[in-house]
Chain A
Amino acid sequence: MALLTVKDLSIGYDGQVILSGLNFAVNAGDYLCIVGENGAGKTTLMRTLLHLQEPLGGEILTGDGLAAGEIGYLPQQTAVQKDFPASVREIVLSGCRGRCGIKPFYGRKEKLLAEENMARMGIGELAGRCYRELSGGQQQRVLLARALCAAKKLLLLDEPVSGLDPKVTAEMYGLIEGLRRDGMAIIMISHDLSAAVRYASHILHIGRQLFYGTTETYKVSETGKYFLKSAEEGGINA
């Protein structure tokens, strides 16, 4: 069985459906890219998959013994108050919470993992710094490191490369590739269509037209052709 199976899902807010008829599945090692215009409902879909909001219809089934503590998540926006006192290390470590189970404190293993992921995201020197005093891109990397700490089998990323410089963006894509080869499933929302078709194994296109399938079929589908062409031409990102 797949890690995640979505059957005829409807999503929206307060009973107002913004998208319905969603069907797709995510297996271990899959790399699903969700693309679509601003306001299409990508973030809403991801939050529904994470049970942060109720589905308005249909089902989300988890399989392969996927437990909540094995999922990593990078939110699009984190509403942290301006004056929240938290160091980078504290935030990244909080990603290990799900691994600890009922253990109240972080052990050496968790601390090591946090250090590793901070080094991966190039924020090792920022470990003691206060989160709210970092630049937007640095904050994004902190939250990415936290998501990596939490992810065991499934990693959900909502526009992970927005705000990152080209070098870190490239490293980020490389990193995700590596994780995937180790068997991690990735669901990523992205406006970077060219990267999406280069790296992803599956594409879910939402909006007026729905598309779900492998990247190869997306490239030759009507929806895919149209959006890839307009993305190339006008630099319009779908």
Chain B
Amino acid sequence: MLKQLEMYLQYPFVRYALIVGVLIALSSSLLGVPLVLKRFSFIGDSLSHVAFGAMAVAAVMKLTNEMLLILPITVLSAVLLLRSGQKAKVKGDAALAMISVASLGFGYLIMNIFGPSANLSGDVCTILFGSTSILTLSVKEVWLCAVLSVLTVLAFVLLYNRIFAVTFDEDFAAATGANVKLQQTLFAVITAVIIVLAMNLVGSLLTSALIIFPALSAMRIFKSFRSVTICAAILSVLCALLGIVISILAGTPVGSTIVAVHAAVFGLSWIIGKMQKAG
């Protein structure tokens, strides 16, 4: 097994996949903690569907650099969604579901009608579940992912105290001088960027798993914001590494394997949490 892994590691595309996987896992888990706590996890889901729609359009237009279209569209949607989600809770919910389903349907439709390739279901499957895309990354894409994830982690660390204050008690933060609106917009932009990146790793349907699972698992075990954040980051990186390695060795799809590992870890954390309570 180890020999086999060693052999695979000699291929650059495997190394790229590991690097990008770890970076994306790290940044998405950091964002996940406040998103889950603010009950915004559904926004991650909707955004990934929007990104799918954008990707379909990009594929049909045969853009060489799909990111140039997908990123701005997703960022814009994120800002609009987070803003509207603030104002009307119930209506915002329905609007989210609508946007999310419409993007999915519309994306598939245009791929179906204008799609360039004969292997339509294969293409759609790749976008939805990221079956192989992480193993076909170019050096350029690796750099883009690396730079964006490092920027995200940096922004998170620098804004950590503000993020905690606004997540815990928005009114108090606003009353004592925090620019809540600006911060939320910034947060929405970063979330969108990470979701687009995460699509490369696990595909559009599974991105929200990368955001939600680490935070939820960490929250079973730990009880302070800092320990939950750190635990989520570590869990996320380990799960991504393990998932990628398993998928390479066993030949399973990368995205689903990572998500399966996350689900198993969540189960474990749940049991540990229960045991802590009992003991």
Residues on B lying within 8 angstroms of A by beta carbon are: 37, 39, 157-162, 164-165, 168-169, 171-178, 219, 222-228
Contacts and interface: CB of A to CB of B under 8 A. Distances in A.
A165 B159 CA distance: 37
Nearest to B159: A104
Contact of B226 (A83, A90, A104): A90
A156 to B, nearest CB: 8
Contacts of B227: 85
Interface in A45-77: 47, 50-52, 67-73, 75
A23 interface: no
A7 B154 CA distance: 45
B158 A81 contact: no
Interface of A: 47, 50-52, 67-73, 75, 78, 80-81, 83-87, 90-91, 93-95, 97-98, 100, 104-106, 128, 130, 133, 146, 150, 156
Contact of A52 (B164, B165, B174, B224): B174
A49 B254 CA distance: 53
A90 B169 contact: no
A46 to B, nearest CB: 9
Contact of B164 (A71, A90, A98, A156): A90
A78 B226 CA distance: 21
A85 B169 contact: no
A90 B173 CA distance: 14
A146 B225 contact: no
Given A86-B225, A104-B158, A106-B161, A91 B168 contact: yes
B32 to A, nearest CB: 13
Given A80-B168, A86-B168, A105 B176 contact: no
B180 to A, nearest CB: 10
Nearest to A89: B224
A85 B176 contact: no
Nearest to B180: A52
A84 B37 contact: yes
Nearest to B226: A90
A99 B255 CA distance: 44
18 contacts: A47-B171, A51-B174, A52-B171, A71-B176, A71-B177, A73-B172, A73-B176, A81-B39, A83-B219, A86-B168, A87-B223, A94-B161, A94-B164, A94-B172, A94-B173, A97-B165, A97-B177, A146-B172
A71 B172 CA distance: 10
Contacts of A130: 223-224
A70 to B, nearest CB: 8
Contacts of A91: 168
A93 B169 CA distance: 13
A84 B228 CA distance: 10
B175 A85 contact: no
Contacts of A106: 161
A84 B171 contact: no
B224 A75 contact: no
Contacts of A52: 171, 174-175
A90 B176 contact: no
A85 B222 contact: yes
B161 A85 contact: no
A22 to B, nearest CB: 19
Contacts of B169: 75, 78, 80, 94
B176 A69 contact: yes
B175 A69 contact: no
Given A68-B177, A98-B177, A85 B171 contact: no
Nearest to A88: B224
A100 B161 contact: yes
A91 B173 CA distance: 11
Given A70-B177, A78-B172, A85-B223, 13 more contacts: A51-B175, A52-B171, A68-B177, A73-B175, A75-B171, A78-B169, A84-B168, A90-B164, A94-B168, A94-B169, A97-B165, A128-B224, A146-B172
Contacts of B174: 50-52
A85 B224 contact: yes
A98 B176 contact: yes
A73 B165 CA distance: 13
A98 B164 CA distance: 13
A84 B37 CA distance: 7
